[in-house]
Amino acid sequence: MTARLEVTRRGLIGGLVAGGTVATAIGVAAGLPGSRKDVLDTISRWNDEVQARLFDPARRAPTYAPSEITTPFRFNAFYPEAFAPRVDPASWRLAIDGAVSRPLTLSLADLRAMPQLAEITRLICIEGWSAVGKWSGVPLAHILDVADARRSAGYIRFECADGYSTSIDMASARQAQTIMALDFLDRPLPRAFGAPVRLRIPVKLGFKNAKHIVRVTVINVRPGGY
Ligand SMILES: Nc1nc2c(c(=O)[nH]1)N[C@H]1C(S)=C(S)[C@@H](COP(=O)(O)O)O[C@H]1N2
Ligand SMILES: [Mo]
């Protein structure tokens, strides 16, 4: 009971979801085996770690061993998997605009020619599940530097081929692990998982990890979206 109260008191996303729900959600998400006390201890430890790192862009999100990768990986979107958009990789372009002194229009080849970072991290969906995967791609900070994004701008907005849009703060956008992912498990992103390019930002929850991105806009004020 003490452990549970601990978890509740330290509710992961206090303002968004009640602590008890979060504890349950994390228990389900992590698929933890063992006794209830073991489970709660593990959740508590995991919760501390997540609390310290997940929402603090100055810290690193945890990384995992290849053996910890979740297979099959889980799909999520605001529609069923069969409706994931079909994007032609040859004609696809990524626009970088807004508060930048060098607006960019990048092809997939342009992105592949940039520095790449590969990392095994956990995607955590607010709906109560998480999964470990390997994504590789271009650090978003690099793209922002090439575009000469205004340093004082507060947010980045992402627009997607399926009509989804979301935004993140600049500190999280420039965090070292935040990438515009081109590959999933060392292969080009499958259609359902965000082809041709998705945001992979392990310090943020799943819904910030925009898939099928077509436009990245640097802005001063927080925009709408998810
Ligand atoms: N374009 C787009 N991006 C999206 C979504 C979406 O519906 N459309 N869903 C978000 C949510 S809620 C989650 S949890 C993750 C799921 O990513 P996955 O399908 O790779 O697991 O994508 C996020 N990015
Ligand atoms: Mo999600």
Nearest atom of ligand 1 to the alpha carbon of 184: 20
The whole-angstrom separation of Cα 121 and Cα 124 is: 10
Taking the chain (226 residues) in runs of 10, the rounded mean pLDDT of each run is 34 36 40 52 56 68 98 98 97 98 98 98 97 98 98 96 97 97 98 98 97 97 74
pLDDT computed for residue 59 by the predictor: 84
* Residues in the chain, overall count: 226
Distance between Cα 141 and ligand 2 center (Å): 24
pLDDT computed for residue 225 by the predictor: 76
pLDDT computed for residue 12 by the predictor: 36
The whole-angstrom separation of Cα 176 and Cα 181 is: 13
ω into 72 cis (within 30 of 0)? yes
- Predicted TM-score (pTM) of the model is 0.79
The whole-angstrom separation of Cα 68 and Cα 31 is: 12
Nearest atom of ligand 1 to the alpha carbon of 131: 21
Two structure tokens written together for 195: 């082809």
Secondary element (H or E) of residue 219: strand 213-219
Helix residue ranges, H only, the chain: 2-9, 19-30, 36-53, 108-112, 140-146, 170-173
pLDDT computed for residue 226 by the predictor: 77
